[in-house]
Amino acid sequence: MGISQTIKQLETKLDSLYKLEGVVISQLEKLKLEQIIVDLKRIGYPTGVEVEIAEHQAMVLGYDEVHEQARWVAHVIMPDIERGNVSRTNDFREDPFVTTGTSVKADYWFSGYDRGHLAPSADFRWSQVALSESYFYSNMAPQLPELNRNKMAELENLLRSYVLSNKEKLYVITGSVLSDDLPKMKNEGRKNEVSIPNLFYKAVLDYSGDEKRGIAFLLPNKNCPNPLLMYAVTIDSVEAITGLNFFNQLSDEEQNKLESTKNVDLWRTKAMQGEVLPINPTTLPKGKINTVQAQYFIGNKARVCGTVVSVKYSERSGATFLNLDKKFPNQIFSVTIWKEDRANFSYVPKIELIGVNVCIKGVIENNKGTPTINVKNEKSIEIIEN
């Protein structure tokens, strides 16, 4: 057999393998979608408020016709997102599974509100079917751009990072906190009266590993300036304000254990390790503020308290930079000690201050959006007890 014939045979064999790969991938996707619904039923759809349940292939939702949006959307973030490469479809459309009809494009157009995904499309990039389903209007709710494009996106990224780091799937229930007194969108040309929620929630359950854990988040429908984990709450607290019972097929013992606690440290990404929550301002003495409050005192003299979680020394400028509570590049408050001022310290700040609780005294400046104090000597840094 000549070389050319051998090449042709191998190419034919390779084509067959490609076709077989496509068949196997399609079969796997179908089975995984079926498993998602089995798993969601196993832990239980939310109950407690009357809704129309629409069961899709990758998500299940409870639609509230009065508010023209879902009270809850349940889905699973799969470890498959690591290899997912399906592109956004942007095929926003009505949900045929909701018999009363859903909101439509005209309800959101020129309203000032984003069509905020409850179950985010990026969670479904491993499946064309699942990704397309995420664009049903039943999966949308009015979110201000300041929330949808910032803190909500940050929360969604956090949960995907958790899945990628732990190689475990997450059960997520997302929804609007709905009540009869909510305002409606009033944009011209609307077809439905869509309620504008004041709060959105996510209830999250890791039920796959040996150490099962749960947490929830409550985000107001506005700009959320605090570090993300400050919006963490217990699942029980979300159940209380929504009237819903999540994960109700679990035993009473499991529900009590998973829904009554919120250990935020278990949910930190690798990049967030070593960070801490800002100090509760109510525990600080008069005249001292925490790192979140610093943004409201730009141009003023203040004492800002927090924990030094990262330090950087610049060889080029000779400056030392300290970040309190959150690390670079997500810092919320920083301290700068310039080269010419290091001689005013009896210790080496980059070594002695890492992990230490401090209060920084000085004028708060705005350094590219981050509140900053330039410290000239060690008297401006008060070391405080834990």
pLDDT at 84: 81
CB 129: neighbour CB atoms within 10 A?
14
If DSSP codes are grouped into helix, strand and coil, which group holds residue 350? helix
Please write the tens of the pLDDT for every residue from 290-322.
999 999 999 999 999 999 999 998 888 899 999
Rounded Cα distance between 338 and 216, Å, is: 42
Regions of the chain short of the pLDDT cut 50 = none
Rounded Cα distance between 58 and 331, Å, is: 36
pLDDT at 1: 66
pLDDT at 386: 62
342-373 exposure pattern, b = at least 16 Cβ within 10 A, e = fewer? beebeeebbeebeeebbbbbbebeeeeebbbb
**This prediction's pTM:** 0.89
Active-site residues, by number, are 117
If DSSP codes are grouped into helix, strand and coil, which group holds residue 10? helix
Please write the tens of the pLDDT for every residue from 190-248.
999 999 999 999 999 999 877 899 999 999 999 999 999 999 999 999 999 999 999 99
Structure tokens at 55: 């069961």
Cα angle: 151, vertex 157, 161; to 5 degrees: 145
- Structure-derived torsion over alpha carbons of residues 91, 54, 232, 266, reported in degrees to the nearest 10: -90
Q: Domains along the chain?
A: 22-269 (3.40.570.10), 281-383 (2.40.50.140)
Provide the 8-state DSSP code for 109: T
Measured CA distances, 158 to 84, 123, 213, 380 (Å): 17, 12, 15, 35
Do you know the residue count of the chain?
386
